[in-house]
Structure 1
Amino acid sequence: MDSRIAAAALALAAGDPLGALNRVALRDDPPALALRGIAMAQLGDFIRARALLRSAARAFGPREAVARARCLVAETEIAFASRDLGWPAKTLDRARATLEAHGDWVNAAHARYLAIRRLLLIGRIDDAEQALAGLDPTPFPPALRTTHALIVAGIAMRRVQTRPARTALAQAAHAAQRAGIPSLRAEVESAAQALHSPAARRIARGEERPLLLEEVEALLASKALVVDACRYAVRCAGTTVPLARRPVLFTLARALAEAWPADVPRDTLIAHAFRTRHADASHRARLRVEIGRLRAVLGAFAGVTASGRGFALVPHHAREVVVLARPVEEKHAAVLALLADGESWSSSALALALGASQRSVQRALETLAAAGKIQSLGHGRARRWMTPPVPGFTTTLLLPSPLPVD
């Protein structure tokens, strides 16, 4: 490696892409192309960066497998940064295996962290946690230790565990300070802001107020009966009844919880659960059936009693009934929640993260764009969607898939 390539690599490691380009901008040899690609990625020109890295990978000879693997890992990182999450996992695994076989443990670990961050971003928290358990960040440089701590914090926040999240964020801040990379410090600060922004809304007795993540944790640990509209479940005293696959029952439970301790008229419940304005005898018969099913699933900690005009929720032991709702609720709130991170997303990545069809996501994007809430960049397969972050709100609890339609 000549002195200019070495100096450019050091500049990139320190987060100085312009300093790197000053040294290799006019060179077209494979190492220079790779470094130029990484520099362009740090400057935000992902299309040009990807083209340069692919050119470098093709230009490296058959005996330079490590260099080609590094180019592939860098290209995968660009895909992650541009929220193009559909990359082949096996290709990244092969590149990681090549790096490990040749003793490049740092870049191999970087490849592992990219795969874990993708799992976390698309909501596969258990898989991300399992993959992270096999990594010890102690021998890694500060930048990778920062990444490790950020992943730990992200998992803890999605588990609604604020103390481990704060500990991990403090470790990330310390490691980022040692790394001396401004963009890394900014990423840590952005992650820490989620703990100081409303993560959900508390609705009880006709009133609502925003909750921080630690307040959400305290509510879930309390003796209150909580209808969790973020995860589509009913919780009480450590017992959880999941209702994500039973949307009618969840809708009825939420309506009854929001009205508690009062009852809810039958016609109101029918309108909410069956999405009709004109109730007839068949709707009322179906309501009785669904109320019976709700009594059965909530039997351990609550009952549903009939009144003269409707039904009311009656907890067995809890003294309070609370609805835990998302900070923002509208037709396409889940799409907005993902776009609120300020990054540019492809429609395919949004579909993957939401567990929905790409066409459904495209229709939602078109509706939001027509309303002026989001904007698109590029055309065709390079088209990306983004929106400025919603001030004062975090998307931590907005990762579960939308409630299915019965």
Structure 2
Amino acid sequence: MDSLITAAARALAAGDPLGALNRVALRDDAPALALRGIAMAQLGDFDRARALIKSAARGFGAKEALARARCVVAQAEIALGSRDLAWPTRALDHARATLDAHGDRVNAAHAHALEVRWLAFVGRLDDAERRFATLDTAALPPASQALQALIEAGIAMRRLRTHAARDALDRAARMARRSGIGALMAEVEQAAGLLREPAARVVARGEARLLRLDDVEALFASDMLIVDATRNGVRAGDIVVALATRPVLFTLARMFGEAWPGDASRDALIAGAFRIGHADETHRARLRVEMGRLRTMLRPLADIDATARGFTLAPHRAREVAVLTRPVEDDHAPLLAFLSDGQAWSSSALALALNASQRTVQRALDALASAHKVQSIAGAGAAGSRRRCRVSPRRCCCRRR
């Protein structure tokens, strides 16, 4: 490897993409193309980066398995950065095995971490945790250790383990400072800021207040019965009743939680659960059927007692009832949460991350675009001609930079 390639590689490792480009920008051999592609990815030009890495992979011969494997890892990282979640994970597995076989521990661990990030992106947290537990970071450089700690913190936050998240973020901050990479230090600081921001809103006895992530963790550890509108379930301690697939039952449970310790009237329950303005006997009969189903579902946690006006929730052991919601109530809040990372997402990637159909996501994007909350931008490269969207910088307050 010549001196310019070595110097460019060191510049990229130090987070200096412009310094790397100054050394290899006019070269078109395979190693230079690969370094140029990585530099363009660090600068945020993912389409150009993708094309350069593909050219580099073609330029390496069939006997240069190690270099081709590194190109696959770079392509996977570019795909994650551009929120293209449909890239082939089998190719990354094969590349990681090749890197391990050739003793390239740093890039093998990086490939491992990319797989964990992909699993977390698509909501497979159990698989992500299992894969992360097999990752050995002790011998990695500081920048790589910081990235692994960020992944660990992200999983811990989604699991509501705030102490573990803070410990991981502290390690990430130390490793980022040791690496001297400003962009990495800024990313760690941004992640740490999530612990200081409102993560949810709780309604109890008619009063609402915002909660941070550690407050939500404490709420779940308390002896309260919680109607969780962030996951569409009812929980008390370790007992969780999932109602995500029973929207009518969950709406009824939420109305009971918001009315507690009082009762909810039959007319209000019918209007809220069935979305009608005027109730007749058929609706009252349907309400009785749904109430029977909800009583059965909530039997481990609470009873539902009839009153002269309607119904009230009677917890078995919990002394208080609360309703937990997102900080801002919006039908499309999960979609906006993904878009708020500042990256442009394709509708197919959002569908994969949200575990929804692409047509459902497209309808939601159309509604948000009409409200000027997201904007559609042109997409190319691996995403083809699919529409890509991001949060509108003018109208949405949840965009983070």
CA deviation string 1:30-84 (max 9, x = no partner): 1011111111111111101100110011011111111111111101101100111
Q: Distance in 1 between matches of 2:233 and 2:366?
A: 31
Q: Distance in 1 between matches of 2:91 and 2:267?
A: 55
Is the CA contact 1:256–1:263 (under 8 Å) kept in the aligned structure 2? yes
Is the CA contact 1:340–1:388 (under 8 Å) kept in the aligned structure 2? no
The equivalent residue for 1:333 is: 333
The equivalent residue for 2:271 is: 271
The equivalent residue for 1:227 is: 227
Q: In the alignment, is residue 310 of structure 1 matched against residue 314 of structure 2? A: no
Is the CA contact 1:198–1:392 (under 8 Å) kept in the aligned structure 2? no
3-state SS of 1:376 partner: strand
Unaligned runs of 5+ in 1: 395-406
Is the CA contact 1:342–1:388 (under 8 Å) kept in the aligned structure 2? no
Q: In the alignment, is residue 381 of structure 1 matched against residue 390 of structure 2? A: no
Is the CA contact 1:99–1:105 (under 8 Å) kept in the aligned structure 2? yes
The equivalent residue for 1:402 is: none
The equivalent residue for 1:208 is: 208
- Return the letter of the residue paired with 2:359: R
CA deviation string 1:313-359 (max 9, x = no partner): 12233221100001122222221111112222111110001111111
The equivalent residue for 1:294 is: 294
Moved more, 254-263 or 270-279: 270-279
Is the CA contact 1:12–1:20 (under 8 Å) kept in the aligned structure 2? yes
Question: Matches of residues 188-199 of structure 1 in structure 2 within 5 Å?
Answer: 188-199=188-199
3-state SS of 1:322 partner: strand
Q: In the alignment, is residue 218 of structure 1 matched against residue 222 of structure 2? A: no
1:307 CA drift (Å):
1.4
Moved more, 279-288 or 119-128: 279-288
- Return the letter of the residue paired with 1:202: V
Question: Matches of residues 2-401 of structure 1 in structure 2 within 5 Å?
Answer: 2-379=2-379, 381=385, 383-387=387-391, 391=397
Q: Distance in 2 between matches of 1:317 and 1:383?
A: 51
Q: TM-score, normalised by structure 1?
A: 0.94
3-state SS of 1:123 partner: coil
Q: Distance in 1 between matches of 2:338 and 2:277?
A: 32
- Return the letter of the residue paired with 1:270: I
Cα separation, partners in 2 of 1:105 and 1:382, compared to 1, 3 Å: farther
3-state SS of 2:123 partner: coil
Q: Flag as ranges the 4+ runs of structure 1 deviating above 6 A.
A: none
1:152 CA drift (Å):
1.2
1:382 CA drift (Å):
5.5
Moved more, 372-381 or 287-296: 372-381
Q: Distance in 1 between matches of 2:263 and 2:341?
A: 39
Is the CA contact 1:201–1:209 (under 8 Å) kept in the aligned structure 2? yes
1:388 CA drift (Å):
5.8
Is the CA contact 1:202–1:211 (under 8 Å) kept in the aligned structure 2? yes
Moved more, 305-314 or 33-42: 305-314
Moved more, 289-298 or 46-55: 289-298
Is the CA contact 1:234–1:240 (under 8 Å) kept in the aligned structure 2? yes
Q: Distance in 2 between matches of 1:388 and 1:21?
A: 32
Q: Distance in 2 between matches of 1:391 and 1:162?
A: 24
Identity score, percent: 64
3-state SS of 1:381 partner: coil
Q: Distance in 1 between matches of 2:93 and 2:386?
A: 25
3-state SS of 2:385 partner: helix
Unaligned runs of 5+ in 2: none
3-state SS of 2:240 partner: strand
CA deviation string 1:364-396 (max 9, x = no partner): 1122112111112214635421116865799xx
Q: Distance in 2 between matches of 1:19 and 1:288?
A: 71
Q: TM-score, normalised by structure 2?
A: 0.95
3-state SS of 1:189 partner: helix
Is the CA contact 2:200–2:324 (under 8 Å) kept in the aligned structure 1? yes
The equivalent residue for 1:404 is: none
- Return the letter of the residue paired with 2:252: L
Q: Distance in 1 between matches of 2:31 and 2:104?
A: 17
- Return the letter of the residue paired with 1:95: A
Q: Distance in 2 between matches of 1:303 and 1:382?
A: 50
The equivalent residue for 1:401 is: none
Q: Distance in 2 between matches of 1:393 and 1:20?
A: 31
- Return the letter of the residue paired with 1:279: A
3-state SS of 1:372 partner: coil
Q: Distance in 2 between matches of 1:107 and 1:223?
A: 46
1:125 CA drift (Å):
0.7
Q: Distance in 2 between matches of 1:94 and 1:216?
A: 40
Q: Distance in 2 between matches of 1:392 and 1:333?
A: 10
Is the CA contact 1:11–1:17 (under 8 Å) kept in the aligned structure 2? yes
1:159 CA drift (Å):
0.9
Cα separation, partners in 2 of 1:195 and 1:367, compared to 1, 3 Å: same
Cα separation, partners in 2 of 1:393 and 1:198, compared to 1, 3 Å: farther
Is the CA contact 2:340–2:398 (under 8 Å) kept in the aligned structure 1? no
Moved more, 26-35 or 288-297: 288-297
Q: Distance in 2 between matches of 1:55 and 1:392?
A: 38
- Higher RCO structure, 1 or 2 (CA under 8 Å, sep 6+): 1
